[in-house]
Amino acid sequence: MATCPRCLGPLSEGHRCRPIWIRRLIRQAIAILIGALLGGFVQILLDPAHVPAMGFVVGGLFAFALSEGMKD
């Protein structure tokens, strides 16, 4: 059976590609959340007296940059 060049799914008579942007959005949101949590955790380890807000921001931005750089 042939495969769709866009979504790599099986090509049948009634084939319709699912929106790719939803999958990319979810993957990027997960990467940002994981990066933010890791950044907050690192800031708590370095200075436990402060709220890890800056670590969340820096970690999220770093994960966003990595996910953009490693796009398909």
Domain boundaries along the sequence of the chain: 20-69
pLDDT by residue (tens digit) across 14-31? 888 878 788 888 888 999
pLDDT for res 34:
92
Q: Which amino acid is at 20?
A: I
Contact 39, 62 (CB under 8 A): yes
- The mean pLDDT value for 5-20 works out to 82
pLDDT by residue (tens digit) across 34-57? 999 998 888 888 887 777 788 889
Q: Which amino acid is at 8?
A: L
Upper half-sphere CA count for residue 71 (Cβ side, 13 Å): 10
pLDDT for res 51:
77
N- to C-terminal Cα distance for the chain? 24
